[in-house]
Amino acid sequence: MKKYVILIVIISSILIALAFFFFAPAKFEFKKGKTIELNYGEKYKEPGFKVTKFGKDYTEKVKIENKINFKKIGEYEIIYKVKINGITFKDKRIVKVIDKEKPIITLNGEKNITICPQTEYKEEGYKAVDDYDKDITSKVKTTKQDNKIIYYVKDSSGNKSQIIRTITKEDKTAPNITLSGNKAITLYLGSTWKESGYKAIDNCDNDITSNVVISGSVNTNKIGSYKITYTVKDKSGNQTIVERIVKIINKPISTNSSSTKKGVIYLTFDDGPNEGTTNIILDILKEEGVKATFFVTNKGPDYLIKREYNEGHTVALHTASHNYATVYKSVNDYYNDLFKVQDRVKRITGQTSKIIRFPGGSSNTISKRYSKGIMTTLTKDVVNKGYKYYDWNIDSDDAGSTTTSTGVYNNVIKYLSKNRSNMILMHDIKPHTRDALKNIIRYGKNNGYTFEKITMSTPMITHGVNN
Marked catalytic residue, from 313, 318, 427, 432: 427
239 and 273 both lie in a single domain: no
| Parallel, antiparallel or unpaired: strands 141-145 and 148-154 | antiparallel
From 67, 98, 129, the end of a domain falls on: 98
Whether residue 256 contacts residue 463, with contact meaning beta carbons closer than 8 Å, is answered with no
154 and 184 both lie in a single domain: no
157 and 244 both lie in a single domain: no
Whether residue 379 contacts residue 352, with contact meaning beta carbons closer than 8 Å, is answered with no
Distance CA 240, CA 215 (A): 14
207 and 270 both lie in a single domain: no
48 and 111 both lie in a single domain: no
Using 50 as the pLDDT threshold, list the residues of the chain that sit under it. Answer: 254-258
The CATH number of residue 240's host domain is: 2.60.40.10
Residue 313 annotated in active site: no
Distance CA 416, CA 21 (A): 137
Residue 270 annotated in active site: yes
Domain range for 144: 104-169
What does the pLDDT read at residue 196? 86
Q: Is residue 180 part of a domain?
A: yes
94 and 108 both lie in a single domain: no
Distance CA 35, CA 94 (A): 5
90 and 120 both lie in a single domain: no
What does the pLDDT read at residue 19? 54
Marked catalytic residue, from 155, 171, 270, 428: 270
Distance CA 56, CA 43 (A): 32
What does the pLDDT read at residue 321? 95
| Category of 32 on φ-ψ map: left (φ > 0), alpha (ψ -120 to 50) or beta | left
| DSSP string for 320-355 | SS--HHHHTS-HHHHHHHHHHHHHHHHHHHS----E
Instruction: Tell me whether residue 118 is exposed, middle or buried, using C-beta atoms within 10 angstroms of its C-beta: 0 to 12, 13 to 18, 19 or more.
Output: exposed
Q: Is residue 258 part of a domain?
A: no
| Parallel, antiparallel or unpaired: strands 134-135 and 141-145 | unpaired
Q: Is residue 51 part of a domain?
A: yes
209 and 348 both lie in a single domain: no
Distance CA 81, CA 69 (A): 21
What does the pLDDT read at residue 188? 77
What does the pLDDT read at residue 11? 66
On the CB side of 164, how many CA atoms lie within 13 Å of its CA? 8
From 98, 130, 152, the end of a domain falls on: 98
Q: How many domains does the chain have?
A: 4
Whether residue 239 contacts residue 231, with contact meaning beta carbons closer than 8 Å, is answered with yes
What does the pLDDT read at residue 254? 47
277 and 416 both lie in a single domain: yes
94 and 120 both lie in a single domain: no
- Please tell me the pTM assigned to this model: 0.52
Residues 350-381: tens digit of each pLDDT: 999 999 999 999 999 999 999 999 999 999 99
What does the pLDDT read at residue 454? 96
351 and 426 both lie in a single domain: yes
- Going by the DSSP 8-state scheme, the letter that residue 301 receives in this structure is -
